[in-house]
Amino acid sequence: MLGTATLMLMTVAALFSLSGLTSNAEYGFSSVFFYAIPALIFFVPCALISATLATGWSSGGIFTWVSAAFGKRWGFLAIWLQWFQSLTLYMTILSFAAASLAFVFDPALAENDLFVFISILAIYWSATILNLRGMRLSSEASSLGVILGTLIPGVLLMVLAALWLNAGNAPETSFSLGALIPDLAEFDSIALMLGGVVLFAGIEMTAVHIRQVKDPEENYPRAIFGAAGIALVMFIFGTLAVAALVPQPQISLVAGIMEAFTKVLGAFGIRWLLPLVMLFIVGGAFAQLITWIGGPSKGLLRAAWDGCLPPVFHRMNEYGIPTTVLYLQGIIVTVLSFLFVMMPNVSDSFWILMALTAQIYLTMYVLMFASAIKLRYSQPSVKPKFRIPGGKAGLWLVAGLGLLASLAGIALGYLPPPEERGVGWEFYAGFLVLGLALIIAMPLVIFHFRRKGWEKRKIPRKNPL
C-alpha cells in the first residue's frame, strides 16, 4: 500500500523536472508572472478537479472519469491521449538524462550520438524493468529518486544561488519590481503565459494507483495538494536561480541547468562536485520515467479490460503490471530514440513534436474538465469525499476556468514561438492539425471496430485497478 508521502513524491516526480526550470528562465524575474497565471487558471483547477474525481470515481483514473461522463468511446480517447503524449515526453526526459550523464564522464560525450543512444536505451529499459517488478519496488525507487535526484539538487541550486547573490555578485537578470510584470501589450507574452499551462500537466496521472493508497479519500487529496505546492515552489525559485546565474543566450533545455551548476559550484571552489550532482540529476530523471511509465500504462490496461483493445493487451504479470503495454511502448521509444539521434536536424525539428505533445495533452484535459461538470448533473448520487467549495457554482468556476485555459493553450499552440518562426506558419499549423487529427482518429477507429469478445470476463484476484 502507498502512504501519503510516497504518493506525494510520485506526483512530484510526474509534475516536476529540473529540465523544466530552463523553459522560462530566459524571461528572468517576469518568469514568476508566467508561472503564477497558469498556476491560477490551470494548475489549481487540475488539482481540485483531480481530487474530486479520484475520490468519487476512483478506479482507473482518466479512463474511468471520462467513461462515466460520456461513455467508453471518449474514455478510451482520453487515456489514449494521455498514453500517446507520454511517448514524446519520454524523449525529452531521456535526452536531458543522457546529457546529464555525459557530464559525469566527459561533457563532450553529449555530442556523441552513440553515447546518447546507448544512454537513452539503458535508462529507459532500466526504468521499464523496474516497473515490471511491481508497484512496491517502483514506487520506492521513484520516491528515492525524486528526493535524491530532483529535490536535493534543486534546493542546492537555489541555496548556492542565494549565497552567490548575497556575496555581492551581479545577477544575469534584473530583479527590480518593474522586471516582474512583462509587457502584456505584446501578443507573445500572452501566448507564453497561456502556453505555460503545459508545464503543470500530469497531476492527475497518479490517480491510477489509488487502489494501492491507504485511506484514499483522505490521503489522495493531501498528496496531490502537497505535490502541487512543492512543484510550484521548485519551479519558481529554481527558475529564478538559473536566470540569476546563466546569461540569457546560454539558457537552453539541457545546457541551462548544467551551466548554472558549473558556474555556482566553481564560484565556491567545489566544482569537483559537478559530476556527482549530474549523477544525482540522472537519478531524478529516472524517477520521473518510472512514474510516467507506470501511470498511463495502467489506464490503458483498464481500457483494454473494458473491451477497447484486443485481448493481447489484457496480459499482466504476477505483480499486476500490464506487460503488453510496457513492451509495446518500449519498442516505440527504442525506434524514436534511434531516429532522434540519427536525424541531422533534430534540434530544429524536435520542438514541433513537443508542440504536438502539448496539443494532445490539453485535448485530454478538455475531456477531464468537461467530465467533472457532466458528472455533477448525470450522477448526483455520487458524493466525492473531496468536493470543491461553493456547490455547482464553485464547480463551474473551477472546471470552467481549467477548460478555458486548456482551449486557449490549444489555440495558441498553433503559433510558433518567436525563435522558431522561420519554418513557416502553414507547415507548422498543418503539421499540428494533421498530427492531432490522426492521433485522435486512431482510438476512435479501434473502438468502432472492437469486438464483443474483447472484454475481460474474469477480473484477476490481484486487481491493480
Residue with C-alpha cell 530583479? 175
- pLDDT at site 156: 93
- Examine the pLDDT at 349 and tell me if it is beyond 60: no
Q: Per residue in 374-392, pLDDT tens?
A: 999 999 888 888 888 888 9
Q: In the chain, what percentage of residues exceed pLDDT 90? A: 19
- Examine the pLDDT at 77 and tell me if it is beyond 90: yes
d(Cα 345, Cα 340) in Å, to the nearest integer? 9
When pLDDT is averaged across residues 198-226 and rounded to a whole number, the result is 76
Q: Which residue has the higher pLDDT, 246 or 22?
A: 246
- Examine the pLDDT at 422 and tell me if it is beyond 60: no
Q: Per residue in 40-74, pLDDT tens?
A: 888 889 888 988 898 888 666 889 999 999 999 99
Point out the least confidently predicted range of 97-101, 116-120, 421-425. Answer: 421-425
The residue among 216, 176, 188 whose CA lies nearest residue 57 is: 216
Q: Which CATH number fits domain 4-454: 3.20.20.80, 1.20.1250.20, 1.20.1740.10, 3.60.21.10?
A: 1.20.1740.10
Residue 1: pLDDT band (50, 70, 90) is low
Q: Per residue in 126-152, pLDDT tens?
A: 989 988 887 677 777 878 888 888 889
- pLDDT at site 161: 93
* Domain chopping of the chain, boundaries: 4-454
- Highest mean pLDDT of the ranges 296-300, 419-423, 442-446: 442-446
The residue among 20, 91, 18 whose CA lies nearest residue 277 is: 18
Q: Which residue has the higher pLDDT, 154 or 353?
A: 154
When pLDDT is averaged across residues 250-270 and rounded to a whole number, the result is 82
When pLDDT is averaged across residues 152-161 and rounded to a whole number, the result is 92
Point out the least confidently predicted range of 196-200, 239-243, 425-429. Answer: 196-200
- pLDDT at site 397: 94
- Examine the pLDDT at 191 and tell me if it is beyond 70: no
N- to C-terminal Cα distance for the chain?
A: 13
